[in-house]
Structure 1
Amino acid sequence: MNILFTNAGRRSYLIEDALRLKRNYDNLGDIYVSDTSVMTASMWVSEDIKKIITPRVIDNPDKYLEILLNKSLKHNIDVIFPLMDFELPVLSENKGKFQKNGIKVIISDSKVIKSSLNKKRCYNVCNNNNIKTPKTWYEGEALDKSMMPFVMKKKRGSGSAGMRIINESDKIPNVVPDQYIVQKFIEGQEYGMDVLNTTNGEFLHCCVRRKALMRAGETDKAEVIYNDNFFEAGKKIGRAFGHKGNMDIDFIVDKDGNMKFIDFNPRFGGGYPFTKAAGFDYLRAMIENIQGNDVSFDRVGKKVAGAKGLKVFTYEK
């Protein structure tokens, strides 16, 4: 089984995990990493990594899809794990082209991807399933200025790009700008959650981390938390969305103890290393699941806290 991680960027921890699994599983073949340039950290985790260069998906989605499929066939790729938001809609709509060639793309159905990445659709799913979100205004809607401060973010944003807090009345737009949403700012503790579903979209497990520091839209310092209410919320989300594989989620607990969910990303995210450190090897679980094996986790794992470090990967030109 040859595995490809697409647009892996700085997610070297996933590639290191894949190499570790390869050493422990006789039927795992080569580990491939694709991105738009060889100057990509995850490509240089080990000399054993095989590299594939693709164009930027946002420049020409059709060309990206064509080249990715052709190179996957050339290198006998069996399984693809997409890791970037912008490629998810393209791959979810065209995963049948890969499946016809014996390539399994670990990605949710197109409807789930659209519902997750478009915040208006996402919050509609939440409202229909009693998953609490902050008060939200959508493009063209007038704001209730008495509810200031606000958070303004892109309707289809990735990470924290384009997000800003509005806390002065003269900076409040009369209506929400195109391609944006505005939310009531929730003061409280922010958490991240990984919700793992099987390849059939059935809930398997979730892990929650209390965020101590964010950097460039990703969790930098965190502590894994075990809380029955959080776990039940993760189970509800897994069943409501029916996604396949991992979903990276952000939520805030306000001063009254209410959970407010704000972001849903149907892929491995920046907080996953803390989930793995707590003893929940979701990548292994997905590989086992692909092979038709049942997987289970204990609800409670290790009590861990930690911070991401800095490691430089170099190569000779």
Structure 2
Amino acid sequence: MVREVVRINVLVTSISKKVPLLQAVRRAMKKMGMSGILIGADRNGNCIGKYFVDEFWPMPSLEHFTVEEFISICRKKQIRFIIPTRDGELPFFSAYRQVFQENGIVVMVSEQHAVDICLDKLRFYEVLSAHGFPVVPTALSLEELNDGDYVVKERYGAGARTIGLCLTKEKAHRHAQKLEAPVFQPFIPGIEMSIDLYMTRAGKAKGAVARKRDYVINGESQITTTIRNEKLEDLCIGVATYLGLYGHAVMQVIIDHEGQFHLIECNPRFGGASTVSLEAGLDSFYWFLLESQGVNLDDYPFNRSLKEKRQIRYPADFVIDL
């Protein structure tokens, strides 16, 4: 009797045009010696990413699924690992993280309470400031903040495309009327930083890489340069540890002209420009796959690159035969 070969497949959701991310996951699978395939999902059936995966799943929005239905599809597709890449789907996967685990599917997502805090900018400020972390003050009205210039953004999830920066009080009021649930922050001039880190299942930091956001378009770094700043990395590791994050996360911080840190937000997922931190030694996808198969990461040290890395993100052509 011929036995059916069971593959161990990896699902990446909301792949959009995240080609470097997909390539990084594929490299991690190859490094693991995995025989499974890379499956990409997106509700846009014409997304760019579909050409860079082994199988494309035109997945409807998660609101159309019960967790049982989603797990049933994963079983049919022999999916054992899931990597969510969009803020909007993190609540679903975090809420059912344990249910997936009980069904033999591991999701790279933090627990629900941590995700909820990170996706609510007001709560993020309230929780972390109460613990003494240097978080940028966040309020529901301008009257709660000191005079100066302001930042206006959506309270929930990622809203970089709709953010208003360095606005007067009058302009801030006007900008807020365009948003669904606006929050206000003081505008703090300085250097924009992102800090990528990986937190293990045991709640310990495996490594962190700080990088300067040299050139930003629509909230994403098009040019970013890694730097060494242990104090900044330690701060972000402290925040991630306090929140109980798991897997890859990205902190956003402003370093003001006096060298003080101002924590803006945390994205509890892999970021758009986080692939440069992989090049610097933060092997997040490989570590995730190792941990998911019960491997102790103590035997896999974080080897930080001796040279700093600069990443330039640019459009490229990919031609296929029809």
TM-score by length of 2: 0.88
Distance change >3 Å, CA 244–CA 70, structure 1 → 2: same
Seen in structure 2, the aligned counterparts of structure 1 residues 286 and 125 have a Cα distance that, compared at 3 Å, is same
**1:144, 1:123 → 2: CA distance?**
14
The residue type equivalent to 1:245 in the other structure is: G
> Which among 56, 61, 86 is matched to residue 51 of structure 1?
56
Rounded to whole Å, the distance in 2 between the matches of 1:64 and 1:56 is: 11
| Number of the residue aligned with 2:187 | 185
Structure 1 residue 231 displacement after superposition: 2.0
In 1, Cα distance between equivalents of 2:321 and 2:18: 21
Q: Give 1:41 shift.
A: 2.1
Runs of 5+ in structure 2 lacking a partner?
1-7
Q: Corresponding residue for 1:233?
A: 235
Pick from 246, 251, 254 the counterpart of residue 253 of structure 2: 251
CA contact (8 A) 1:279 1:302 kept: no
SS of equivalent to 2:160: coil
CA–CA distance in 2 between the matches of 1:128 and 1:289? 33
1:150 aligned residue:
150
CA contact (8 A) 1:12 1:42 kept: yes
Change (3 A) 1:199 1:159: farther
TM-score (norm 1): 0.89
Which segments of 5 or more consecutive residues in structure 1 lack a partner in the other structure? none
Counterpart check, 1:270 vs 2:272: yes
Question: Counterparts of 1:1-317 in structure 2 under 5 Å?
Answer: 1-45=8-52, 49-57=54-62, 61-63=63-65, 65=67, 68-138=70-140, 141-143=141-143, 147-165=147-165, 167-173=167-173, 179-293=181-295, 294=297, 295-298=300-303, 301-313=306-318
Deviation at 1:37, TM superposition (A): 2.5
Task: Show CA shifts across 1:57-86 (max 9, x none).
Answer: 4xxx14375653332121010010111100
Distance 1:26 1:144, change over 3 A: closer
Residue 50 (structure 1) shift? 1.3
Q: Give the Cα–Cα distance (whole angstroms) in 2 for the partners of residues 199 and 145 of structure 1.
A: 38
User: 1:112·1:243 contact (CA, 8 Å) conserved in 2?
Assistant: yes
Is the Cα contact below 8 Å between 1:92 and 1:107 reproduced in 2? Answer: yes
Which deviates the most, 77-86 or 299-308? 299-308
**Distance of aligned partners of 1:239 and 1:169 in 2 relative to their CA distance in 1, 3 Å threshold:** closer
Distance 1:77 1:145 in 2: 48
Determine the C-alpha separation between the residues in 2 that align with 1:124 and 1:301.
38
CA contact (8 A) 1:153 1:182 kept: yes
Residue identity matched to 1:114:
D
RMSD over aligned CA atoms reads: 2.4
Following superposition, the deviation at residue 114 of structure 1 comes to 0.2
Alpha-carbon separation, structure 1, partners of 2:218 and 2:265: 15
Superposed displacement of residue 166, structure 1: 5.1
Contact 1:192 1:271 in 2 (8 A): no
Task: Determine if contact 1:125/1:241 at 8 Å carries over to the other structure.
Answer: no
